[in-house]
Amino acid sequence: MQTLGEIQPGQTLGRYEFLVPIAQGGMAAVWAARLHGTRGFSKTVAIKTMLPTISDDPMFEQMFLDEATIASNIRHPNVVQIQDLGEQNDILYLVMEWVDGEPLSAIRRAAAKEGGIPRNIAVRIVADACSGLHAAHELKDEHGEPLGLVHRDISPQNILLTYDGQVKIVDFGVAKAAGRSAAETNAGQIKGKPPYMSPEQALGEEIDRRTDLFALGIILYQLTTGKHPFRGESDVITLQNIVSDRPIVAPRAFDKDYPRPLETVVMKALARDPAERYQTAAEFEAALDRVFPPNMPRVRADDVGKFVTVLLGERGEKRREALRDAIKQADERALNNQERLQMRSMPDLMSQVSLPRVSRPSQDSIPPSQGTLVDTMTVQLSTQSQSHTSSLPPPPSGDYGLAHGTPYGTETFAPAVKPKKSGAGLVIGVLFGLAVLGGGAAFAVMKLQQKAEAPQTAVANTAETAPTTAETGNAPEAEAVAPDPAAPSDDGGATLSPDELAKETKQVNGAVAPHGGGVPKPKGGTPAPTASAAPTATAKPKPKGDNGFVPPPVTDPGF
């Protein structure tokens, strides 16, 4: 179980974060705290928690719960509002509205050093307390029946004054109400502070709302005279003075200028017989409103606030400054916690998000629409930076560098591509190209040499085998034969070897044409009969610039 002493600023109970300790009484302690809502909403509240010494007592726990149940139903500006009740780690806590002010006990002690509280201010404070008490006394249940609520602990400690002059009654922890379990099971037990008890309360008799009015009468007497009407050397003597039959010393005995109307009101409120007191808090308030003459200005809440500010303004400012510092520290803690949570979540985010890496992706992983662009960029980068890329260190593997240079000096967040390792490939390509070029050049030279040698061989063979005109005489022309499409040549004519050409030439009856293009035709247009039916050479046009002989083409270069 977590105790109140273990609670430190920054710790939370439910939606509430502890900021600064404010006060501690006999049963509970009060902290300034902050309510956290949605969308950054926050509100300063007061949290009341039971002390560890009594937190295990069922009676005090029930009193704590009863206070929340009863006081939360009172709606009045002179009563501190109960906003929430919670429990966490076995700690019950009561959430109340935050009051920026001081208890009447502290104001009275501070004012005693300055000549006391002015009477008109004191009357206004008690009148406002009567207004709040009347609202509590008139509280009804859900059926409209009066609860008979009695505070039973009206004292300067339980009356708060704000710095803007508002009066607030707090602490209904020992209040008596009809049907309240803690009150019924502990009948006859004295509850409250002895200096502010009524005679019937001190004697353990039945009490009602008039008991609270007696306590207010004691407070009014003390504020306006600076003395307690029943104070003794001890609480026992004080109680004896309350229940005795000795007359109460009138206020004018201490001050001849004490207003008589005010003295009358005070003495009636202190009547030992409840029947002789004011019967309601509203009646008491009305009587206080008539103690001063009509021409005397009435005290307003602003006047009370100014008095409290002048008296204890420095104390209030220190509390507000401490509260501001606590809120600032709480904000810093929240920011640091948020940053730590973000740092802790970074590995999870990195595992879920695919970031571009420097290493070049495989060709299969590149979409078709991006492959061309990546290759083009790689070629451009390789070409333009070939003179200096060798001096640049390669990026480390696994680096999540997001900005890489582009040919235009800008930065891109596209996946970085590692240049292709094309040094060895380039050398091989150059060597292969040189080999191809060398082979092609050699082939061309050999072909040219073969063509150059072929005409000479053909001329020699023809000169040896072909008959001249003188040998053959006037031989009739041979009929031109169509070229064989199955034997193509470079010049488009028929292709015959030199031996075949010489053999066929010898078999022809008649002279060979001077140009070797075919056998001349006889006059008359009819072909002359030949000695045999062997085919003759195909007639070809005479090339310009030669000796008139057309050599047969070479079909096999020989290599």
pLDDT at 361: 52
Task: Please name the residue ranges forming H helices in 83-143.
Answer: 104-112, 119-137
The neighbouring-strand residues paired with 307 are none
Q: What are phi and psi of 209, to 5 degrees?
A: -60, -25
Q: How buried is residue 138: exposed, middle or buried, by Cβ count under 10 Å (0-12/13-18/19+)? A: middle
Q: Sign of torsion, CA 241 243 247 252?
A: positive
Give the pLDDT of residue 552: 52
Which residues are CB-neighbours of 351 under 8 A, at least 6 positions away?
Answer: none
Q: Are 94 and 48 in contact (CB under 8 A)?
A: yes
Residues with active-site annotation? 153
Contact between 486 and 538 (Cβ < 8 Å): no
Q: Superfamily assignment of 102-325 in CATH?
A: Transferase(Phosphotransferase) domain 1 (1.10.510.10)
Max Cα separation, the chain? Answer: 190
Inter-residue contact 223 to 125 (CB < 8 Å)? yes
pLDDT at 284: 98
If DSSP codes are grouped into helix, strand and coil, which group holds residue 524?
A: coil
CA distance 267 to 252: 11
**Domain residue ranges of the chain, discontinuous segments joined by +:** 102-325, 432-521+529-559
Per-residue pLDDT of the chain (559 residues; tens, 9 = 90+): 455 556 788 888 888 999 999 888 777 889 999 998 888 788 999 999 877 767 677 887 888 888 888 888 999 999 999 999 888 877 888 999 999 999 999 999 999 999 999 999 999 999 999 999 999 999 998 888 999 999 999 999 999 999 999 999 998 877 777 655 554 445 445 678 999 999 999 999 999 999 999 999 999 999 999 999 999 999 999 999 999 999 999 999 999 999 999 999 999 999 999 999 999 999 999 999 999 988 888 899 999 999 999 999 999 999 999 999 999 988 888 888 778 877 877 666 556 655 555 555 555 555 554 444 444 444 444 444 444 444 444 444 444 333 333 333 334 444 444 445 455 566 676 677 777 677 777 766 676 666 555 555 444 444 444 444 444 444 444 444 444 444 444 444 445 555 555 555 555 444 444 444 444 444 444 444 444 444 444 444 544 444 455 555 544 444 3
pLDDT for res 206:
92
The Cα 154–Cα 157 span in angstroms is: 8
| C-alpha span between 469 and 219 (Å, rounded) | 168
Helix, strand counts (H, E) of the chain: 14, 11
Kindly report the number of other CB atoms within 10 A of residue 543's CB atom.
Answer: 11
214 near 266, Cβ under 8 Å?
A: no
pLDDT at position 350 is 58
DSSP code of residue 273: S
CA distance 525 to 510: 16
Distance of alpha carbon 534 from the chain centroid: 104
Q: Is 531 helix (H, G, I), strand (E, B) or coil?
A: coil
Token pair of 476 as six digits: 């009739």
Q: Which residues lie across from 169 on neighbouring strands?
A: 79, 159
Question: Hunting for tokens 């308030």 — which residue is that?
Answer: 285
Give the per-residue pLDDT at 263. 97
* C-alpha pair distances (Å), 189 with each of 205, 207, 439: 10, 12, 125
Question: Would you state the pLDDT for residue 188?
Answer: 46
pTM of this structure: 0.61
Q: What DSSP line would sit under 203-266, residue for residue? A: TT----HHHHHHHHHHHHHHHHHSS-SS--SSHHHHHHHHHS-PPPPPGGGT-TTS-HHHHHHH
So what's the pLDDT on residue 226? Answer: 94
In one-letter notation, the amino acid at residue 165 is: G
What per-residue confidence (pLDDT) applies to 556? 45
